[in-house]
Structure 1
Amino acid sequence: MATDFSTEISHLRTTMASVREVTDLEKLAARITELEGKAGAPDLWDDPEAAQQVTSALSRSIAERDRILEMDSRIDDLEVLVELGTEEGDEATMAEAERELASITKAVGELEVRTLLSGEYDERGAVITIRSGAGGVDAADFAHMLSRMYARWAERHGYPVKFLDTSYAEEAGLKSTTFEIDVPYAYGNLSVEGGTHRLVRISPFDNQGRRQTSFAAVEVIPIIESTDHIEIPENEIKVDVFRSSGPGGQSVNTTDSAVRMTHIPTGIVVSMQDEKSQIQNRAAALRVLQSRLLLQRKAEEAAAKKELAGDIKASWGDQMRSYVLQPYQMVKDLRTGHEVGTPQAVFDGDIDDFIEAGVRWRRAGGADAE
């Protein structure tokens, strides 16, 4: 069936009109002018932290504006390409137009989702922690599969991944792992991945070949910034140091550089061992602890508001996504209903459609989203 380019291009223009309305290009242009003025101040770098905030905000704002203008230009070029191919009856040109339409449609969809990320911390980078749950060695292996899935997703987008702490299981897989993806909007996108994930498969660790159900928990928190003002008194923190270790108990180094930080009032524990020095691990642990306390404070504030309104509901539920390898092949998000029949592609990092569905679901009020 021939592609109706006229209808598709019209749909793209309608979507972009919505994106421009939400973004408010005039307001964005004014913000860029304001930030350029601040960035050009001769005393800008007298306060390095403030200077970094200004230059980062300017870079993000310019990139946001340029993405929209570039997309408008690509749609204009596509329209010209279609007209040219139609007039000349050139199949090669029309095939090129098909490919460009698919590429633009995907890019516009991603841009539209970006406009939906308007939460307080959505622009931040993300710290992801994955913990194995019920299911023994299969759960530990599942935690490793999920860790690889998110790393491959980041790789597909050219995002750097920095592992902060990894605890290996005895037989296979991971007890837990924590890593950082420090790029704009990583938290806004990946926050919808938080929750309990379930795997159903024939266990490779069962010599009788029985089907096994296992679970892993995914936690996503925003990267803390100096402006967040989460002060933690020293007497509320207990710090233990120990020797870093790798798989099978193999020593990573011969010094006590790994750090376990416990927040005494809440019992929150953060371990870091992937940096080279104890000082670096302490700083990384404190940053993650501050992020978790910040989210906890926000959650408590939200719960208090809901209690005053007389409407208390669980926000995510016990299971948010199922990965089934046996007796059939399927990955299904239980909140949005989005599903695919290619679990291997999903485990290879092809999760953008799940993320997009999750962001749209949350924006539409899923789980009483704020």
Structure 2
Amino acid sequence: MNPDVQADIKDLDGTLSSIEAVADVPALRQEIDELSEQAGRPDLWDDVDAAQKITSRLAHAQGDLRRLDDLRGRLDDLPVLYELAEEEDDGSASSDADNERAKLRREIASLEVRTLLSGEYDQREALVTIRAEAGGVDAADFAEMLLRMYLRWAERHGYGTDVYDTSYAEEAGIKSATFAVHAPYAYGTLSVEQGTHRLVRISPFDNQGRRQTSFAGVEVAPVVETTDHVEIDEKELRVDVYRSSGPGGQGVNTTDSAVRLTHIPTGIVVSCQNERSQLQNKASAMMVLQAKLLARKKQEEQALMDSLKDGGSSWGNQMRNYVLHPYQQVKDLRTGLEQNNPSQVLDGEIDDFVEAGIRWRMQASDA
């Protein structure tokens, strides 16, 4: 076997072994056994919330183990592929082995990113809020494009999502939307997407076909768990109820079931209208509010830490450009990563940007 190929396989083996050590494969197998036992109990669904957490965690743990076992099996088979290609002097088989090695390198590098998620809330599920900013109707349309992008990303990975609230703009697009991503490490993964996203294109809403620049903001918060101490005084809340509405302001419910909560001390406003009952919507809105307050607390603590460092942190607010005219490009302003197929990115293929963002954040925190 070519010495360079041998060295590369050895390097891949070292990286995968490190990932397996961090994942603690024996403990993962034990957790799956314990969760499988819990999932098999006849009284499992007596507590629906607990049952959903158990089955969701079991599915994700089994998925993680399958992925690790698959990568290990394929990597162990790789030297055999090269030996067979050499024995048969088959250029096509050698090319197949090279392709498999390149594919393994990409997949192992992608999995390695998970080991960098070690923040306090990184393993939590995520709550994502998207808001239209400057740019009028184009900004509202862009916000809806980003909403679809993240929902498609979650769908590609098999992650469950719940859209809690969508505020539609009058002409097109959305003013804002809040949704949850139900997957371990969703917060740590998506938190690097927080910031201002910028779109440049020929506006489909401009009769003169002029180029328009518009902006949308993305906010990511960790889902609150029972161990968190996020107390909200009812006296500090204003509760408004109203009828749910759809695109163009059309009513989608005949009762005042939608709920808007305003946290007076911070000015944070959250809404929920996806449930049929006012009580359910209030409970969901309260969960979103708690998550936002937890995220604010985390940001304040980070700001304090940054203020103690020389020069502070330089995260910057504007983080990614999507250019559709006069050329096609998506560029991350923090990592410098560029892709020349915006349609793929806006269809949810954002893993390269997310992984680069996580690595960039790790390097920035170590600086």
Q: TM-score, normalised by structure 1?
A: 0.87
Aligned 1:28-177 pairs, distance under 5 A: 64=64, 67-91=67-91, 93-177=93-177
2:207 paired residue number: 207
SS, match of residue 160 in structure 2: coil
1:251 paired residue number: 251
- The answer to whether the 8 Å contact 1:195/1:316 transfers is no
User: What is the distance in 1 between the residues matched to 2:157 and 2:86?
Assistant: 34
1:260 paired residue number: 260
Root-mean-square deviation over aligned CA pairs: 3.3
User: What is the distance in 2 between the residues matched to 1:54 and 1:248?
Assistant: 40
User: What is the distance in 2 between the residues matched to 1:300 and 1:249?
Assistant: 37
Is 2:336 aligned against 1:334?
no
User: What is the distance in 2 between the residues matched to 1:253 and 1:276?
Assistant: 8
Any unmatched runs of 5+ in structure 2? Answer: none
SS, match of residue 259 in structure 1: strand
1:296 paired residue number: 296
User: What is the distance in 1 between the residues matched to 2:359 and 2:320?
Assistant: 16
For residue 5 of structure 1, report the CA deviation from its aligned partner. Answer: 3.9
User: What is the distance in 2 between the residues matched to 1:335 and 1:341?
Assistant: 17
- The answer to whether the 8 Å contact 1:203/1:209 transfers is yes
User: What is the distance in 2 between the residues matched to 1:52 and 1:172?
Assistant: 36
- The answer to whether the 8 Å contact 1:303/1:312 transfers is no
Question: Which one is further off, 45-54 or 256-265?
Answer: 45-54
User: What is the distance in 1 between the residues matched to 2:342 and 2:294?
Assistant: 34
1:187 paired residue number: 187
Is 2:282 aligned against 1:269?
no
- The answer to whether the 8 Å contact 2:60/2:183 transfers is no
Aligned 1:209-224 pairs, distance under 5 A: 209-224=209-224
For residue 56 of structure 1, report the CA deviation from its aligned partner. Answer: 7.0
- Residue type of the partner of 1:163? V
- Residue type of the partner of 2:241? V
Aligned residues: 366
For residue 360 of structure 1, report the CA deviation from its aligned partner. Answer: 0.2
**Per-residue CA shift, 1:112-151, capped at 9, x if unaligned?**
0010111111111111111000011111111111111111
Aligned 1:330-369 pairs, distance under 5 A: 330-365=329-364, 368=365
- Residue type of the partner of 1:182? H
For residue 183 of structure 1, report the CA deviation from its aligned partner. Answer: 0.8
**Per-residue CA shift, 1:281-333, capped at 9, x if unaligned?**
111101110001111112222323344x2646355313101111111111110
SS, match of residue 315 in structure 2: coil
SS, match of residue 130 in structure 1: strand
For residue 277 of structure 1, report the CA deviation from its aligned partner. Answer: 1.6
For residue 212 of structure 1, report the CA deviation from its aligned partner. Answer: 1.0
User: What is the distance in 2 between the residues matched to 1:38 and 1:137?
Assistant: 50
- Residue type of the partner of 2:136? G
User: What is the distance in 2 between the residues matched to 1:330 and 1:163?
Assistant: 29
Shift in CA distance, 243/47, structure 1 to aligned 2, threshold 3 Å: closer
User: What is the distance in 2 between the residues matched to 1:363 and 1:130?
Assistant: 25
SS, match of residue 364 in structure 1: helix
User: What is the distance in 1 between the residues matched to 2:236 and 2:81?
Assistant: 64
1:229 paired residue number: 229
For residue 98 of structure 1, report the CA deviation from its aligned partner. Answer: 4.0
User: What is the distance in 1 between the residues matched to 2:49 and 2:155?
Assistant: 29
1:325 paired residue number: 324
SS, match of residue 259 in structure 2: strand
